[in-house]
Structure 1
Amino acid sequence: MIEAEIKVRVPDREALVQLLDELTEARAEIYKDTYYDTAGRELEAWDAEVRVRSVESAGGTKRTVLTYKSAAVDAGSGSKPEHETAVSDPDAVHEVVRGLGYEPVIAFTKHCLNYSVTVRGREMLATVVRVPEIDGTFIEVETMTDTEGLTGALADVRAFLAGLGIGEGDLTRELYTDAVRARRG
């Protein structure tokens, strides 16, 4: 499956959250992401990612997922095929990934408000994101699709963003990993 995703840096977090709160209830979550690569950074060269994400909800629920994303299939949005699975033991999954020859290359925290919405019959996740090490707020809107449905899925995501007053010129391909690396020097 492909994660059809568009990311935008938003100038007014409060106004955006107010619009989204009118649509549905938010789930506040904290993501603790660790990205892995080989010593030679082959995954980065291939535009691929291996990530272990631990998620804590406001209610104290914790879960961990292992994600592999291969190279982008849409240059404009950066949308990638994604394979993700829940793991029951976060420490073990980190050990497994390291045991396979990968090393942690960057880790950081994302503070998220997640909104599940349905647009044009398509289930989407709109996430308002703040990364403490990066100035500003972002919104990511994503939906899962197959290769044949990617163009339509991205059109639906853009339509949802347009309904929030976010235009095509506001989109960004900026990666959190790159921004955090730059900030850390």
Structure 2
Amino acid sequence: MEKTAREKMLANEPYIALDPELERMQAQAQTFLHVFNSSLPSEIEKRREMIHALFGSIGQNFEVKPPFRCDYGCHIYAKENLFINYDCVILDCNTVYLGSNVLLAPKVQIYTAYHPLNPELRRSGLEMAAPIVIGNNVWIGGGAIVCPGVTIGDNTTIGAGSVVTKNMPANVSAAGNPCRVLKEV
């Protein structure tokens, strides 16, 4: 039996993003996010309930500041004490795992989605997506970009404006474009 587009997407295999099931899921998430991002500052509990419904799972004690953007939401799995600051984007075409005590500064971008390097394949509409894992006690500075397939180890800090193109070990401070380890902590 052939895999569905969603199954291919989650397996990091080429898939067509314009698949009807994926389009329906994405439209539902975007409608949900429109309400979330339009909520009043006083509607904290409403926003918490919406994130509980949107994410695949989320632990206790979290805050997601609007505006927030994602593709589906249901592929985001977070543990307790998550803080996502203003203007963050998580393209969750594959799974995004966020450990305990993760802090995402404003405008952090987490991208699981990517396109083939071959221009003919790109024109065909095929896309791919690789999972991202962010460990416990990680702080990602403002405007940083985490690329597809990256794992960031526990207790690591990623400097503002960094572009994380490869795995980062635990217990380090890293920054730059491309991001590189600056020192152990």
Verify same fold: TM over 0.5: no
Q: TM-score of the superposition, structure 2-length normalised?
A: 0.24
Q: When you count strand as a share of all residues, which structure comes out higher?
A: 1
Of Structure 1 and Structure 2, the greater helix share is in 1
